[in-house]
Amino acid sequence: MPRAPSLRLAPLTPLTVILLLAGLHMLVFDRGLGGDGWASFAALESLVEDGDLYLENNLRGVDNGIVPTSSGHRIMQYPPGILLLDLPPFLAGREVDCLLPAGWLAHGFDLPPVGRVPRRVVLEVAAIVLTRNAATLLGLFFLAQALQRLGVGERRVAAAVALTFFGGPLLFYSLVGMTHAPTFALASLLFFLLVRQREEGRIGLALAAGGVLGLATLVRYGAVGLLPAALLGVPPSRPGGRDAARGVLAFGVGFILPLLLLPLYWHAGSGEWGPPGYGGTWHFTLASPWNVLLSPQHGLFLFHPALLLAALGLVWMAGAELARRAPGIGTVALLGFLGIAVLHGGWSEWANPGGYGQRFLIDALPFLGLGFARVLAARPRWAWRGTLALATGFGYLLFFTAVAGLAPPPPPYPWPQRLADYRSLLTHPPGPAEIWMGMKQASLLVRRIA
């Protein structure tokens, strides 16, 4: 008798394992919408329920990202791209509310920092947060695809993706419903399209790359810092002549088209054709990039030292390309990283004292992923990989002790500002009971299970 076929699960690939670990991290430590996320949520509610962008009757006591206009209305200061991305999950959450039994969560739910909200709001928020988590995973997937097209091996791709997520500020900002996860996904898609465009030199890919960067800028203004790198990366692998010019032109058209929505959105909210204001001032000097990279207050390389090695990898690649007088994808990636660092380092709010850390560099993380891939191939491999592992573990320790309340921040700030704020971990190391209490503080899921 023929034997019945046995059901065997396909073995997990290294990349799948890393994506599952990243998903588990977000599941355990998700923090809801956060402060800024409630601004875009209020704008969505106002559009759907009131048909306008005036938010004074949609706020729940959270003023993050809200600015007054000359007409007396209060509006969201952020660009409108996030509303386009959040609308589908928002409507999906509202539809689920209509389908569930009336007794389920009938009294609402407590959502920090706004307090108790109706069940419909809980489901809308949950759908948006899960979509942001999915955007983070999608961005990691696009990064992996780009590295694979560059000839990086499967295991090294998975390791570079893991370091990009666990070794940088996505560790925290993938957990809050702010705009960083979507812009990371769009920046990763841009990186993938630039890699393909340099291989194939197709006008359609240049147009798509411009459209993706335009949409990213429509979500977060700061994504425009990737523009110089994208322009360098757009010409085909054999630049020169009319083909290169057509590629740049197609990219420019794709970039500008989404941004044509901005003046219309500004006018609808404030009655003016210009932006309503974002806060802070701009002043660029040679020290601008070092503000966000090496400052004792929220310096990227101090709180996430693994990214210093990634930046070294990009310098390594770009130096070799420039020595051959053939700028390649390494030079493009280094320019993307520096463009974001210079842009945000020149802003007076670069230190992000009210937030966890240096979130402004998240748009450059896909390019730093290429730097990780280069360092992982360096010899002696055990030394480089061991250093990367230690540096990533150090950053994760800072993250956990901060969200668990084991490293008390200096008043009046909600989060540690400098490495010295973690000194209590050395002078009074937490015991198992304190760590368990901190875990419950850091994780809504663990609190519910416990």
Q: Is the pLDDT of residue 153 over 80?
A: yes
Q: Where residue 255 falls among pLDDT bands split at 50, 70, 90? A: very high
Closest CA to 219 of 332, 139, 115, 145: 139
CA–CA separation, 264 and 367 (whole Å): 32
Average pLDDT (63-79) is 89
Average pLDDT (409-425) is 95
- Region 164-185: mean pLDDT is 95
Across-strand partners of 239?
A: none
Residue 325 has φ and ψ, to the nearest 5°, of: 55, 40
Cα radius of gyration (the chain): 23
Q: Any residues with CB less than 8 A from the CB of 81 and at least 6 apart, and which?
A: 182, 215, 216, 217, 218, 219, 220, 258
Q: Which residues contact 429 (CB under 8 A, 6 or more apart)?
A: none
DSSP 367-409: HHHHHHHHHHTSSSHHHHHHHHHHHHHHHHHHHHHHHTTSSPP
Inter-residue contact 144 to 158 (CB < 8 Å): yes
Confidence of residue 448 (pLDDT cuts 50, 70, 90): confident
Tokens of 88: 């589908």
Contacts of 73 (CB under 8 A, 6+ apart): 54, 55, 56, 269, 270
* % of the chain exceeding 90 in pLDDT: 78
Cα–Cα distance, 359 to 320 (Å, whole number): 30
- What length does the chain have? 450
Q: What percent of the chain has pLDDT over 70?
A: 96
The domain ranges of the chain are: 12-32+79-269+280-450
Least-confidence region, from 129-143, 231-245, 375-389: 231-245
- Residue 65 DSSP code: T
Q: What is the pLDDT of residue 110?
A: 82
pLDDT at residue 185 tops 50: yes
Residue 362 scores a pLDDT above 90? yes
DSSP H or E run through 202 = none
In sequence order, the β-bridge partners of residue 76 are 66
Residue 236 confidence class, pLDDT cut points 50, 70, 90: low
Contacts 24+ apart (CB under 8 A), 45-52: 47/83, 48/90, 48/91, 52/268
